[in-house]
Amino acid sequence: MTEAALVSAQPWSHLEARAGLLDRATAVTATVGGARVRVVPEPLKTTVDGVPTQSLRLLVDDDATLAALDRVSITGADGVELVVGRPAAPDDLSARLLVREGDAPTEVQVHLPGLGADVIAVTLEPPRDWHVHVVHHSHFDFGYTDPQTNVISSQRSYLDSVVELAAATDDWPGAARGRGTGGARGACAGGGRPRPAAAVAEFVRLVKEGRGGLSALPYNLHTDTCSTEERHQLLREARRIRDEHGIDFTTAMQTDVPGQVAGLPDALQGVGGKYLAVAHNGAGRSRPHPNGALDLPRMSRWRTPAGGSVIVWMTDSPHGLAYMEGPMVGLTEDYEVAETYLPAYLTALATRGYPFPPGVFGAHGGEAGGRPGYPWDVLPLRAQGFMGDNGPARLHLAETVRRWNETWTSPQLRVSTNEDFFAEAEARHGDELVTVEGDWGDWWVEGVGSGAVPLALTREAQASVSDAQSFSQAAAWLGGSAVPTERADADHVYDAVSMFNEHTWGASNSWTHGDEGYDSGERQWQWKVGQGIAAHQRSRDLEEHALVYLAEAVRAADGALTSIVVANASGATRTGAVRFLLKESTVPFDASIGLRDGRSGDDLPHVEDAQSNSLHRESGRWVTAQVRDVPAWGFVRLDVVATASAPVEPVVHPALTTSAAELFTLENEYLRVRVDPRTSAISSLVELATGRELVDAGAPTGFNAYVYDEYGSSGAGVNHLANKLWSSDRLELLASRSTGGPAVLVERVTDAVEERLVFSFSAPGVDEVRVTLRLRHGEPRLLIANRLTKPVTRTKESAFFAFPFAAAEPTVRYEVSGGVTGSGLTHVPGAPQHMRAIRNWVTVEDGPEAVAWVTKDAPLVMPGTISLPYAPFPASTNPVGAATVYSWVHNNVWDTNFPIEQGFDATFEYAVGVRARPGQAVEAVALATTADLVRPLTSVPAGTSGVEERASVELLTLDDDRVRLVAVVSDGEASSLVQLQSITDEATTVTLGFGVDVASVERTTFLGDTIGPLELQGSTVAVELRPYESVGVRVRRE
């Protein structure tokens, strides 16, 4: 009889998935006497009166059929009865039979005389002796299910419960004793301060005894959005706990986020990490299996070019149940539910492999082929306290394991930890593992485009915190003092940065305004934005603090009105513009000033601008000048002097008497730029040294063209809707696509520093876009600033800026944290290729020619084409440009976890750089262009009593311009840690030259753990670097 239903179907349910799991485990489906009977071989073993047995289960559809199974006979080829027992079935519509265990595949016949004379033939395989490690974790979402304050408090309470459950099960059989895993170490961060010392000590004891586990990583986060520094700083607290409490962090755990960045194994290895357990939640928006993941075993070895490697366990049920497999097979419910589904899961896993079809933990869309069955007998299963995120620690799991092991001799279950699983798996199968290499991109990272402005603030904090520490240490190297709180202040920045990059950006119903549970969306988002704002403010405060300390170490020139210290935090000599506020309290407005290079006494042309918002800010005038050859990790002093003449006024090209072609053209010694005012896009960008055109004239859009998409999906707040939608290559969900309107000239200026063009245009999705193009005199790069005035809307939308580079046979490289990815490079099978989050730069090589493109604020890019952001992510532009980069500025395509609307007035900056000299390495072009845009020269007024009287000092040099000076950070009294990163794909040796007297140097990990001594040769030291390696060099000054 058909049951009445107001809604007859739904996209997915866990009950349907469980039913599908039983189908997947079925060996034979037969009809006997008109009734359907399914035969499921189970890997359950026990003994009956000393006879070893294995289990077979018969599934039927109704009570009448089940009643007819009162007599069941199973015979072998010789006709001998094999049934020796019939325990109670775990559910109401099946019968479980125990048959004699075989040691080889055996053809048997199932007789059901109560139904009819037909016989069911089935092959029984020898049951596998499974060792199942049930890892009890919480699935730590820092939000989503409740406001963040509630979640972190609950997570700490769960660790208290781990201690209680361990004590309650001390006298239980070993496998059933309570063990808990802090799947994200963030719950015990801060040195255990929320708990008394005795409680912390008891938890530490349990961890050391294997009764608890801690992940090296603090929470589940988008590692693709991490800087190199942050990626290592994520492990700072693990390193502290290791040193204070003697806990070795061999294992890291990540849940939900379907992908990890290329440099993660190197960072983990730096603190002793050997293992990484991930549960990739496809959530319907991920398509790893059709993109190569069928070739990626659940357990493999992930190796980096720098030599780091970890053994990875990947739980990858495509539908988003990766971290839910334990609950899905019943381990959080009644024991009988576990007996119903866990044996079927093991049978299906061994015989069919993943991905299962839709409805069985399966991928979104049509049927998907499966990989071979799981080959081994050791297996981890994650289980929360209940079927849900942020689940508690409960005794129930230990009770289930104890009863199971009392009932069955195999499979044996163990309440376990990741560490125990990996130790057994590596010992037994380590030599059999496949090794994979490359980036393992994050399928969910597109969601960060839903918070474009706080994301940009956080990225700025990532850059400025490193520079701030370098400036602080520069003050000490010059004979002054470093900021006393430098290390603690930097730690506070990184805490906020990484908390922002944690993957939970809002509640399940992210558009809601409640104060608890799934409907606390706005409250959770405000908390998240607060982390980004706090990171930005803390980094700016630390940089200001550090610059003041640096300024106090440098003495102003005698006779100058004031002196300005122009500081360079990079490891390369640089030429660039510096802008500083000359305060009225220092020099009155009516006084004319000149600017001199303290090294030579030469006058520097400069530009003066009025203060903005002047009634409410420091009174003064802005002075901008170009400073050439600022030393590597050092400074130049500029002297402000009195003069009788005013600065040369900028030339404003008059719009009425100047041709449009001239108005919309910029040129310096390296580049010529032409803008098409009809499309508000760059139509030509020529490298003058080679005559090469950098813009692909055959692309669908111009260069820096604005593209705005609207989608036909609802923006009204339908939970997980985007995960359920699908588009073919006919682009059904693309409702509209628009580009920018004609340009309106704002200004065309030539001044002492640059050639500048500013224009605006209107377009769908914005009230206005204002574009500023700058070519500074004598600098090999174009600077682009696109300011968007964007209204709030819930219409599903995306905005892009297009950068189609001209190249016949391009080699494209994208910088990701800890490495690169791009054309011709291997990546972990299943990583997304239609979009990615990058750090800053992309390089395009075409034979001997090269160009670098840099983004400051917006990390998301789509290579080659704009892919529709709905599975299976079809290309939507033609032709696909192998050297085209689409900067994905913002979107709101998710319908959970991320905001569904945003509005802002914000600027998104880019740069395009070419070689400053023939033969310059493309990596060096990338680093120089990035430094100028992302970490520009910084200035501060010099002190009056500083010990350093020289007008220029170079503190540290690197002789390989493919190696980046990441930062110089505090390492104790008279000691600093120089952090380096290679960005080349070949091994190199970089020589560091010191501008101060050095007592000793040694090689360390990026965070400062000693590796070994380095040989100091005079004032230099050679450091060997593997491809893309990040290291530390401890420098002790005399």
pLDDT at 14: 80
Structure tokens that stand for 607 in this block: 């530009």
Cα torsion 44, 48, 51, 57: sign: negative
pLDDT bucket at 356, cuts 50 / 70 / 90: low
Token pair belonging to 892: 């709101």
Query: Judging by DSSP bridges, how do beta strands 744-750 and 412-416 pair with one another?
Result: unpaired
Question: Which residues are registered as beta bridge partners of 991?
Answer: 1022
The arithmetic mean of pLDDT across residues 286-304, rounded, is 90
CB 728 within 8 Å of CB 744: no
Can the peptide bond before residue 941 be classed as cis, meaning omega within 30 degrees of 0?
A: no
- What whole-number distance in Å separates Cα of residue 162 and Cα of residue 168? 10
State the pLDDT at residue 69: 96
**Weakest mean pLDDT among 321-325, 755-759, 984-988:** 321-325
What's the rounded Cα separation, in Å, for the pair 1032 and 328?
45
- SS3 of 574-603: the string is EEEEEEEEEECCCCCCCCCEEEEECCCCCE
pLDDT at site 289: 83
Q: How confident is the model at residue 190 (pLDDT cuts 50, 70, 90)?
A: very low
Instruction: Please give the Cα distance from 759 to 426 (Å, whole number).
Output: 61
Instruction: With a cut of 60, say whether residue 364 has pLDDT above it.
Output: no
What per-residue confidence (pLDDT) applies to 188?
60
pLDDT digits (tens, 9 = 90+) for 9-53: 877 778 888 888 899 899 999 999 999 999 999 999 999 999 999
* pLDDT in the model for residue 371: 76
Query: Which residue ranges form the domains of the chain, and what is each CATH number?
Result: 14-124 (2.60.40), 131-443 (3.20.110.10), 447-553 (no CATH), 562-646 (2.60.40.1180), 652-918+925-934 (2.70.98.30), 955-1038 (2.60.40.1180)
Q: How far apart are the first and last CA of the chain?
A: 89
* Residue 798 to residue 801: CA distance in whole angstroms: 10
User: pTM surpassing 0.75?
Assistant: yes
Helix axes 452-477, 521-552, angle to 10 degrees: 20
Q: Read off the pLDDT of residues 237-278 as tens digits, 9 standing for 90 and up.
A: 999 999 999 999 999 999 999 999 999 999 999 999 999 999
The count of C-alpha atoms lying within 13 angstroms of the C-alpha of 280, restricted to the half-sphere facing its C-beta, is: 33
Q: How confident is the model at residue 290 (pLDDT cuts 50, 70, 90)?
A: confident
Report the mean per-residue pLDDT for the chain.
Answer: 95
Instruction: Retrieve residue 436's tokens.
Output: 């994979």
Structure tokens belonging to residue 979: 């952090």
Cα separation, 510 vs 526, in Å, equals 11
Q: Is the pLDDT of residue 366 over 70?
A: no
Provide the pLDDT for residue 469: 99
Residue 217 is classified by DSSP as S
Q: Give per-residue pLDDT as tens, 409-451.
A: 999 999 999 999 999 999 999 999 999 999 999 999 999 999 9
**Residue closest to 838 by CA, chosen among 171, 228, 377, 124:** 228
In tens, the pLDDT along 751-808 reads 999 999 999 999 999 999 999 999 999 999 999 999 999 999 999 999 999 999 999 9
Could you tell me the two tokens for 29? 């489906």
pLDDT at 191: 44
Confidence at residue 287, expressed as pLDDT on a 0 to 100 scale: 86
pLDDT digits (tens, 9 = 90+) for 499-551: 999 999 999 999 999 999 999 999 999 999 999 999 999 999 999 999 999 99
Determine the distance from the C-alpha atom of residue 975 to the mean position of all C-alpha atoms in its chain, rounded to a whole number: 32
Cα 643 to Cα 651: distance, rounded to the nearest angstrom: 22
**b (16+ CB within 10 A) / e for 944-954:** eebebeebbbb
Tokens of 694: 């950098």
